[in-house]
Structure 1
Amino acid sequence: MGVTCHVVLIETSGNQGFIFDTTKRRENVGASELIDGLRQWVDDALAVEFTDFDSATWRISDGRPAQLLVNAAGGAKIVVCDREQGTALVSLVTARALRAAPGLDVCGVVGECFDWDAVHEEEGQRPISMLARRCREAHHLLPLVKSGRAGPMSRFLRIPIVDECAASGLPAYDVVVDGDGPRSRQPRSRPSRAKRAAQDAGFTRLARYAGISNKALEAVADHLEDVPDWVAVIHADGNSLGQLITDLGNRPEGTSADGQPAQGSAAGDADRKTPNDRYADALGPFSAAVQECTVAAFTKALEHCERVLPPGHDVAGAMPVLPLVLGGDDLTVICAGSIALAFTEAYLTAFEEVTRAHALLGGGLTGGGLTGGGLTACAGVAVVKPHFPFSAAYDLAEELTKEAKKTVKRYAPRSSGQARPRASAFSFHVQYDSGGSDPEHLRERMQVPPGAADLAAEPDRKKRRKLRALLYAQPYVVTRDMREPWTQGRHWDDLVRRAAALIDTVDELDGGVDGAQESGERKLPTSQIHDLRETLFAGRDAADGRFRQLLRHYQDRGLTLFAAPDTPDGETTNPDTASLFWRISADEPPVTGLLDAMNAVQLMGDPAATGARATGAPATGASV
Structure 2
Amino acid sequence: MIIETGSNQRYIFATNKQRLQVAASAAVWQLGFVWIEEAIRGVALSYCRDLAEFEYNARDKRSVMHVVKASGRAVLLVHTAEDGRAIITAVTRRALEEKTGIDVWGRVSEPIDAGFETAGDRFFETDVLLREQRTKRLPPTVRFPTLPFHEQCAYTGLPAATVGKEVVGENPKARSDVTEFLFEKATGARQRLLNELHGEEVGLTSEEQTTAKRCTVQMDQMWDGVRNNGWVAAIHADGNGIGKIFANLRITYPDGRTFVEKQKELSDALEKLTWKALRDTVLGIDRTDQNKGRTVWPNRSILPIIVGGDDISAAAHGGIAFEFAALLVANFGHYARADELGLPFITAFDDIRAKLPTLDDVPKQLSLAVGLVFTKPNHPFSHSISLAEELTSSAKKHSKRRTGAIDSLVLYESAVRGLADIRDLMTIPEGRTEDDDTNPPTTAEAPGKPVFSYAGKPIIVNDEHGELMTVGEVRKLIDELSPRPDADRPAEQLPGQHHAADSVKTLSRRQIQDLRPALTEPRTLAGVTDQLRLVRARIDLSGNQIPGIVAEELRIDPAAGKDSTMFVTALDLAVVRAGTVEGNARANDDNPVPTAATT
TM category, shorter: 0.7 to 0.9
Name which of 545, 548, 565 aligns with 2:536.
548
Question: 1:597 corresponds to which letter in structure 2?
Answer: A
Question: 1:561 corresponds to which letter in structure 2?
Answer: I
1:206 aligned to 2:193?
Answer: yes
Instruction: Determine the structure 2 residue equivalent to 1:459.
Output: none
Name which of 448, 456, 465 aligns with 2:448.
465
Measure how far apart 1:43 and its partner are.
0.6
Instruction: Determine the structure 2 residue equivalent to 1:502.
Output: 481
**Structure 1 regions of 5+ residues with no counterpart?**
1-7, 120-129, 253-273, 410-420, 454-461, 510-519, 566-578, 613-624
1:593 aligned to 2:566?
Answer: yes
Measure how far apart 1:452 and its partner are.
10
Instruction: Determine the structure 1 residue equivalent to 2:40.
Output: 46
Measure how far apart 1:463 and its partner are.
11
Distance 1:30 1:41, change over 3 A: same
Instruction: Determine the structure 2 residue equivalent to 1:221.
Output: 222
Give the 5 Å matches for 1:336-351.
336-351=317-332
Name which of 362, 368, 377 aligns with 2:368.
377
C-alpha RMSD of the superposition? 3.5
Distance 1:406 1:141, change over 3 A: farther
Alignment partners' CA distance in 1, 2:389 and 2:148: 36
1:281 aligned to 2:234?
Answer: no
Name which of 518, 526, 547 aligns with 2:509.
526
Instruction: Determine the structure 1 residue equivalent to 2:472.
Output: 493
1:475 aligned to 2:458?
Answer: yes
Alignment partners' CA distance in 2, 1:135 and 1:200: 37
Distance 1:133 1:329, change over 3 A: farther
Secondary structure class of the residue paired with 2:218 = helix
Question: 1:486 corresponds to which letter in structure 2?
Answer: E
Q: Is the 8 A contact 1:472 1:593 kept in 2?
A: yes
| Identity between Structure 1 and Structure 2 (%) | 25
Measure how far apart 1:184 and its partner are.
2.8
Q: Is the 8 A contact 1:236 1:379 kept in 2?
A: yes
Instruction: Determine the structure 2 residue equivalent to 1:325.
Output: 306
Question: 2:165 corresponds to which letter in structure 1?
Answer: V
Q: Is the 8 A contact 1:321 1:335 kept in 2?
A: yes
Alignment partners' CA distance in 1, 2:476 and 2:375: 24
Instruction: Determine the structure 2 residue equivalent to 1:570.
Output: none
Measure how far apart 1:448 and its partner are.
2.5
Question: 2:197 corresponds to which letter in structure 1?
Answer: A
Measure how far apart 1:473 and its partner are.
2.2
Measure how far apart 1:362 and its partner are.
2.9
Instruction: Determine the structure 1 residue equivalent to 2:384.
Output: 393
Alignment partners' CA distance in 2, 1:101 and 1:559: 60
Q: Is the 8 A contact 1:226 1:386 kept in 2?
A: no
Moved more, 546-555 or 154-163: 546-555
Measure how far apart 1:506 and its partner are.
6.8
Q: Is the 8 A contact 2:372 2:409 kept in 1?
A: yes
Q: Is the 8 A contact 2:165 2:172 kept in 1?
A: yes
Instruction: Determine the structure 2 residue equivalent to 1:175.
Output: 163
Secondary structure class of the residue paired with 1:222 = coil
1:20 aligned to 2:13?
Answer: yes
Measure how far apart 1:331 and its partner are.
1.2
Q: Residues 398-455 of structure 1: CA distance to partner in whole angstroms, max 9, x if unpaired? A: 111111111122xxxxxxxxxxx431111111221122321111110111366999xx
Q: Is the 8 A contact 1:224 1:335 kept in 2?
A: no
Alignment partners' CA distance in 2, 1:351 and 1:281: 24
Q: Is the 8 A contact 2:296 2:594 kept in 1?
A: no
Measure how far apart 1:508 and its partner are.
5.6
Distance 1:299 1:220, change over 3 A: farther
Q: Is the 8 A contact 2:226 2:303 kept in 1?
A: no
Distance 1:145 1:555, change over 3 A: farther
Secondary structure class of the residue paired with 1:610 = coil
Secondary structure class of the residue paired with 1:581 = coil
Q: Is the 8 A contact 1:164 1:187 kept in 2?
A: yes
Instruction: Determine the structure 1 residue equivalent to 2:283.
Output: 303
Q: Residues 57-76 of structure 1: CA distance to partner in whole angstroms, max 9, x if unpaired? A: 66554463442211222111
Measure how far apart 1:388 and its partner are.
2.6
Q: Residues 338-390 of structure 1: CA distance to partner in whole angstroms, max 9, x if unpaired? A: 22211111111110001112225238xxx964455631121111222333333
**Structure 2 regions of 5+ residues with no counterpart?**
199-211, 286-292, 351-363, 434-444, 489-502, 580-592
Question: 1:177 corresponds to which letter in structure 2?
Answer: K
Distance 1:213 1:226, change over 3 A: closer
Name which of 406, 419, 432 aligns with 2:397.
406
Secondary structure class of the residue paired with 1:472 = coil
> Which protein has greater RCO, CA pairs closer than 8 Å, 6+ apart?
2
1:314 aligned to 2:299?
Answer: yes
Alignment partners' CA distance in 1, 2:21 and 2:485: 45
Alignment partners' CA distance in 1, 2:446 and 2:182: 51
Question: 1:600 corresponds to which letter in structure 2?
Answer: L
Question: 2:166 corresponds to which letter in structure 1?
Answer: D
Corresponding pairs, count: 516
Instruction: Determine the structure 2 residue equivalent to 1:580.
Output: 555
Alignment partners' CA distance in 1, 2:154 and 2:54: 50
Give the 5 Å matches for 1:607-618.
609-610=595-596
Name which of 105, 123, 130 aligns with 1:142.
130
1:111 aligned to 2:105?
Answer: no
Secondary structure class of the residue paired with 2:370 = strand
Give the 5 Å matches for 1:21-100.
21-38=14-31, 39-49=33-43, 51-56=45-50, 59=53, 61-62=55-56, 64=58, 65=61, 66-100=64-98
Moved more, 435-444 or 100-109: 100-109
Alignment partners' CA distance in 2, 1:609 and 1:226: 17
Distance 1:336 1:507, change over 3 A: closer
Normalised by the size of structure 2, how large is the TM-score?
0.77
Q: Is the 8 A contact 1:221 1:322 kept in 2?
A: no
Q: Residues 546-568 of structure 1: CA distance to partner in whole angstroms, max 9, x if unpaired? A: 45325526886654322236xxx
